[in-house]
Amino acid sequence: MKIALLDIWKPGDKKDFNSGYGTTFTPGDSFLARVLARLRSSNEYLPLLNYGYTSAVLKRNGHEVQLVMNELPVGYDLVILHASLIRHTEEIEMLERIRREQGTPICVIGPLGSEWPHLFDLIADLVIIGDAETVLANFNTLDQLPRGRVHAAAIENLDELPFPDWSIYDYRKFTQFPLLKKNPVVMIQGSRSCPYKCNYCPYITPTKNYKTRSPENVIAEIKHMKSTYGAKSILFRDPVFGIKKPWALELCKLMVQEKIDMPWACETRTDRLDEEMIDVMYEAGLRAMKVGIESSDEEILRNLKRKPPAIEHQDRMIHYAEKKGIAVAAFYIVGLLDDTVETMEQTLKDAIRLNPSFANFNLCTPLPGTEFYEQVKDRIYDFNLNHYDNYHSVFTANKATPEQITYYQDRSMVRFYFRPGFVLKALNHMFLRRN
């Protein structure tokens, strides 16, 4: 069969992020915020990890697979769409056009289809809920492809998955600049889901279960990515790298033993780190990491089932990592349910005091399948799913107006980045350090 993987994409889109719901980067309407958005959109390009796995599974079963971006897929036996939030309107329009002009069977995968399959009942022939690979690996003809809503069996052993197929993309363009400067960057997933219970997080929705690959299997994939695609950097796409410290230490030691010699980045929590862990990760090639700080107000976080790390430990780990030459991108959330003007201002002040290499200030967003969505669904006033990108206010918080929240996102981005302390640090990272 000839199968199209459909992707409706615009510069700045990162559909793999936010648990596959996607995100863009539009931090405000001021001139300086737009400058930031333009710089970032032009320097980051990453594919859908889900499509890498989907293509590999389908090709293993003998199918011909092609990526079709921003155009009508013509001459295919099946069209597969990883449905996103950020391009929902455009994706639905394209699916309607496929149905009207081509009549090609349509399959929807990804978290949006898993959590809200009703959005696609009238337009898709198949909506896979859960791990799509277990369904897509088991058909040879259209007659064997199930129809309607199908609950996929969970993948019990991630090592049994084939390595992602990046030949469908122009993988030479994969980049995560400025965190990683050597291209192409490839995404590798050592684990899926997250055992923490933060109620706003899409990585813990009911269709997902935390599981890890063996360190040996991850090393084999890294070697494959180097030899097949010329990969020069790695972005680990684990929601939280190093939840299991022994697993992370073993992987890092294997990277050293096998002489991987590639810079890499990951996302983690500071309460999963200590000096020993950072030392081992650095020796293995860690040169950048993303950490979720979210807010300076611990009570606000606890009310959202987020266990905040101890401030002293958090600051010590970030400063220790940066002294070793590891760039740290700190992530904050603006407009949490109980945020006030005062708490948002304090979070900004603390971000400037901490002075990490980079910072991001996302708007709190109720995402499908999360406990937080259920908590605030009666407060939602914006039902345009394209706006559920962490940069549009879509619900009414308890103590701050939507206008105040959007103002503080813009203010936070501009004040953090347009100051001498950041500029000097950024120049040092981009030009004086090798990674």
**136-191 pLDDT per residue, tens:** 999 999 999 999 999 999 898 999 999 999 999 999 999 998 899 999 999 999 99
Question: Residue 306 has what pLDDT?
Answer: 95
Please say if the pLDDT value at position 325 is more than 60: yes
Question: Residue 433 has what pLDDT?
Answer: 52
Segment 99-119 mean pLDDT: 97
Number of domains in the chain: 2
- Both structure tokens of 159: 């090592």
Name the band, by pLDDT with cuts 50, 70 and 90, for residue 27: confident
Please say if the pLDDT value at position 434 is more than 60: no
Please say if the pLDDT value at position 432 is more than 60: no
Segment 294-310 mean pLDDT: 94
Residue 32 lies in a domain: no
pLDDT above 70 coverage of the chain, percent? 97
Name the band, by pLDDT with cuts 50, 70 and 90, for residue 204: confident
- Both structure tokens of 418: 């347009």
CA distance to 40, 51, 268, 417, 433, per residue, from 355 (Å): 19, 36, 18, 10, 18
pLDDT above 90 coverage of the chain, percent? 86
> Of the residues 151, 185, 208, which one is the last residue of a structural domain?
151
Please say if the pLDDT value at position 207 is more than 70: no
Residues 124 and 242 in one domain: no
CA distance to 92, 228, 334, 362, 383, per residue, from 405 (Å): 30, 46, 7, 10, 18
Helix (H) or strand (E) holding 211: strand 211-212
Residues 349 and 222 in one domain: yes
Residue 14 lies in a domain: no
> Tell me, what CATH number does 344's domain have?
3.20.20.70
- Taking the C-alpha atoms of residue 85 and residue 294, their distance in angstroms, rounded to an integer, is 22
Find the angle CA(429)-CA(431)-CA(432) to the nearest 5 degrees. 75
Residue 156 lies in a domain: no
- Taking the C-alpha atoms of residue 187 and residue 375, their distance in angstroms, rounded to an integer, is 33
Of 24-38, 49-63, 245-259, 268-282, the least confident? 24-38
Q: Average pLDDT, whole number, for the chain?
A: 94
Other C-beta atoms closer than 10 Å to the C-beta of 20 total 21
3-state secondary structure (DSSP) of residue 370: coil
Question: Residue 174 has what pLDDT?
Answer: 95
> Of the residues 151, 178, 211, which one is the last residue of a structural domain?
151
Question: Residue 17 has what pLDDT?
Answer: 93
Question: Residue 429 has what pLDDT?
Answer: 66
| Parent domain of 147 | 2-9+48-151
Segment 347-375 mean pLDDT: 96
